[in-house]
Amino acid sequence: MMGFPVLEDLGDVSGKKVLLRADFNCPIAEGPDGKTIITDDYRIISTVPTIAWLLEHGAIVTVMSHFGRPKGKYDERYVLDPVEKRLADLIGPVTFLENLRFNPGEEANDDAFVKQLIAGQDLYVNDAFAVSHRSHASVVGPPKYLPSVAGRQLEKEALMMSRLLNEPERPFIAVVGGAKISDKLSLLKSLATKVDAIIVGGGMSYTFQRALGHNTGDSIVDESKIAECADLLASGPRVLLPIDLVALAPGGKLDFSNNLSEEEKGTVKIVSVDVPDGYEAADIGPKTRDHFAREITSAKTILWNGPMGAFEDERFAEGTKAIAEAVAASSAFSVIGGGDSVRALNESGLESQVSHVSTGGGASLELIEKGDLPGLIALRNAPKK
């Protein structure tokens, strides 16, 4: 996993033109004037140490990033102006390329687009951990032609993940949530060989409950994955599942915007793991919160990725909040990844009480599952300075 070059390996960068791949794909909202505003600048702040080091050592820096999902064409909603302004507030003006994903060559890893990006550049720095699992032009292309290294954030992320996977203090507990079991079943299989216990919550847990023969009502279940869940339960480490649930009664609606009427939202009820017909489970129950928190308290190493329910609806947010509080209160080495987990942690004001908040949920999961990333491999194979 390690062994890639870092900033110091660039040597003297004074007067050198450096192309920096950052990940400034920040959460956004529409401001009062209709313009895009950034609601969380954590990813911008995370790249400042790398840019500062390059500028202090005399480099001429050009920053590139994607922003949103413009699908290979210009989209005014995703121009990088708000990001450029925020970075300028933090470190002063820096040259920016426009949104990489305005060009279809980015996601297609088109070599012609790579050569367009690197034209006139001397060196390349990847500080975009969150996209280093993507074989995109700006991630794996420049290291084919330029001396290339990892920036501070990418270096930190990889070091933290290396500690998590290669030298974890036991017990090592993974807390995995989210809606779809299909998104994370391969991760769970990989974790099963590395951890002492896996806590499973969120929509993905209901497929496991079905595998155990429980009724799941109208809860989300992936029928095609039931057999694989049963195999994992039979052959892996301890898998802890919810022992009670918070469910939406028939006729009710999930309220992700928190603006539905009480009548529209319907009735919420705490149920057992056998969910009544017509009910939809949407969070872990109070007994499960206590059960999971006790397990987390016993851990020496914790990985958390994914919410315990539909936490965007305040009626179903308590389970995810309870996990955030338990992880923050633990003295364990803790790594939190995935946008929803990080958001829950931030909303609880607990981000400073964990060991590491990862900027890349998908990249973290792929690194755990496969042991390496295309972006890291590209850096190792890059030409030397």
Annotated catalytic sites, by residue? Answer: 43, 180, 339, 362
Three-state SS across 147-212? CEEECHHHHHHHHHHHHHHHCCCCCEEEEECCCCHHHHHHHHHHHCCCCCEEEECCCCHHHHHHHC
Q: To which residue do tokens 């050569």 refer? A: 115
Amino acid at 265: K
**In degrees rounded to 5, what are phi and psi of residue 63?**
-100, 140
Q: To which residue do tokens 């995109």 refer? A: 136
Kindly state the tokens that stand for 236.
């892996």
- How many other CB atoms are there within 10 angstroms of residue 31's CB atom? 12
CA-CA distance, 256 to 163, in Å (whole number)? 36
CA-CA distance, 382 to 19, in Å (whole number)? 14
Instruction: Give the bridge partners for 304, in sequence order.
Output: 175, 336
* Buried-state track 342-352, b at ≥16 Cβ within 10 A, e below 16: bbbbeebebee
Kindly state the tokens that stand for 204.
């993905």
Q: Report the interhelical angle of 286-297 vs 318-329 (nearest 10°).
A: 20
Kindly state the tokens that stand for 177.
């949530």
Which among 352, 310, 376 has a CA at the least distance from the CA of 6?
Answer: 376
Is the C-alpha dihedral spanning 64, 337, 226, 223 positive or negative?
Answer: negative
- Taking the chain, what is the end-to-end CA distance rounded to the nearest angstrom? 22
- Angle ∠(376,368,53) on CA atoms, nearest 5: 40
Q: To which residue do tokens 């074989």 refer? A: 135
Which among 1, 14, 4, 26 has a CA at the least distance from the CA of 125?
Answer: 4
